[in-house]
């Protein structure tokens, strides 16, 4: 007999909105944000889904309940569902993905690459975002490589690296060289993560310009350089 399904810890489900980051930037999506993370990045913009101080605000939902909410928010019209967190790989999103795929939806996952799951193979896009030195975390590369292997059957695997400073940039180049076959996106870090404070559009632009100048000066033509589009539009507001 199959073991009973454990409920998922869900920090928020929201949308439809546009994917603000990475390879699917601009695409309509509904977000499912998992509660809980094995990392504590110094600059995390989603601490409400990480810090156990927020645990009481996370809902215990089974996959069918999460799926019903996604279907409701999307009006039953198939789109790409974005699963983020926290680190969603702590939990079992396999049943949710199976339910959605059966109705024509696709799934993209955001994870730092610290925990591999067999259901990565069911994704249309696996976004692996290893954490640079400024985060205070240090990736376990064996675990990261296991995530890559688990994602072999996914539609696409994207390496998305956040860059705050020169040390992060040098690190991103070295990591990119280590994975020459992957689609690569560099995203400037946003130091202003307070959800109650506005983010100046010019600051977002200035951080991207800094990165564009650096990459072009080196004649490095592999990465795509993208802002967090949702931050440009809505600042750090939650649920967008
Ligand atoms: C909140 S995380 C959740 C998924 C997963 N834990 C991870 O880090 O990939 C989603 C994305 O936001 C990025 N991110 C978090 N805080 C950020 C910040 N202050 N500036 C830019 N990107 C940030 C992460 O690097 C990751 O690519
Ligand atoms: N619109 C929008 N795009 C996003 N891309 C990645 C996000 C995340 O927090 O994982 C995010 C988010 O929270 N909102
Ligand atoms: S791994 Fe992701 S969710 Fe976890 S603390 Fe870092 S940025 Fe936040
Ligand atoms: Mg975010």
- The verdict on the CB of residue 111 being under 6 Å from ligand 3 is no
10 in Cβ contact with 58 (< 8 Å): yes
How buried is 95 (Cβ within 10 angstroms: 0-12 exposed, 13-18 middle, 19+ buried)? middle
Ligand nearest to the CA of 132: 1
In this structure, which residue's CA is closest to atom 11 in ligand 2?
20
pLDDT tens per residue across all 240 residues of the chain: 666 778 999 999 999 999 999 999 999 999 999 999 999 999 999 999 999 999 999 999 999 999 999 999 999 999 999 999 999 999 999 999 999 999 999 999 999 999 999 999 999 999 999 999 999 999 999 999 999 999 999 999 999 999 999 999 999 999 999 999 999 999 999 999 999 999 999 999 999 999 999 999 999 999 999 999 999 999 999 999
Helix axes 94-102 and 63-73, enclosed angle (nearest 10): 40
Mapped onto helix, strand or coil, the DSSP state of residue 110 is: strand
Strands 28-34 and 8-18: antiparallel
Residue 135: predicted pLDDT:
98
For residue 160, report the distance from its CA to the centre of ligand 3, in Å. Answer: 13
For residue 54, report the distance from its CA to the centre of ligand 4, in Å. Answer: 16
- The verdict on the CB of residue 234 being under 6 Å from ligand 3 is no
132 in Cβ contact with 172 (< 8 Å): yes
What CATH homologous superfamily does 8-234 map to?
Answer: Aldolase class I (3.20.20.70)
147 is in an annotated binding site: no
Residue that has been written with the tokens 């546009």 in this structure: 18
Residue 13: predicted pLDDT:
98
- The verdict on the CB of residue 160 being under 6 Å from ligand 1 is yes
Residue 145: predicted pLDDT:
98
Q: Which atom of ligand 3 is nearest to the CA of 40?
A: 5
- The verdict on the CB of residue 162 being under 6 Å from ligand 1 is yes
User: What's the whole-model pTM score?
Assistant: 0.97
Residue 2: predicted pLDDT:
67
Neighbours of ion ligand 4 (CB under 5 A): 45
Q: Which value, to the nearest 10 degrees, does the dihedral of the CA atoms of residues 108, 111, 114, 117 take?
A: -20
- The domain ranges of the chain are 8-234
Residue 6: predicted pLDDT:
87
Residues whose CB falls within 8 Å of the CB of residue 28, separated by 6 or more in sequence, listed in order: 15, 16, 17, 18, 19, 79, 80
């Amino acid at each position: 007999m199959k073991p009973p399904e454990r409920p998922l810890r869900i920090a928020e489900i929201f949308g439809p909105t546009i994917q603000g980051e990475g390879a699917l930037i601009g695409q309509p999506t509904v977000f499912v944000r998992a509660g809980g993370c094995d990392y504590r990045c110094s600059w995390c913009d989603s601490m409400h889904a990480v810090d156990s101080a927020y645990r009481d605000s996370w809902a215990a939902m089974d996959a069918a309940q999460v799926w019903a909410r996604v279907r409701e928010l999307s009006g039953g019209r198939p789109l790409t569902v974005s699963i983020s967190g926290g680190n969603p790989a702590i939990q079992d999103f396999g049943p949710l993905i199976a339910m959605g795929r059966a109705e024509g939806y696709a799934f993209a996952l955001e994870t730092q690459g610290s925990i591999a799951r067999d259901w990565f193979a069911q994704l249309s896009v696996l976004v692996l975002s290893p954490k640079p030195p400024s985060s205070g975390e240090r990736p376990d590369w064996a675990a990261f490589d296991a995530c890559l292997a688990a994602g072999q059957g996914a539609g696409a695997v994207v390496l998305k690296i956040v860059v705050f400073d020169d040390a992060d940039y040098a690190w991103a180049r070295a990591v990119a060289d280590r994975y020459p076959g992957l689609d690569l996106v560099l995203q400037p870090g946003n130091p202003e993560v307070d959800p109650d404070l506005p983010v100046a559009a010019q600051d977002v632009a200035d951080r991207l310009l800094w990165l564009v100048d650096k990459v072009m000066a080196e004649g490095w033509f592999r990465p795509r350089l993208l802002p967090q589009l949702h931050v440009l539009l809505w600042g750090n507001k939650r649920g967008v």
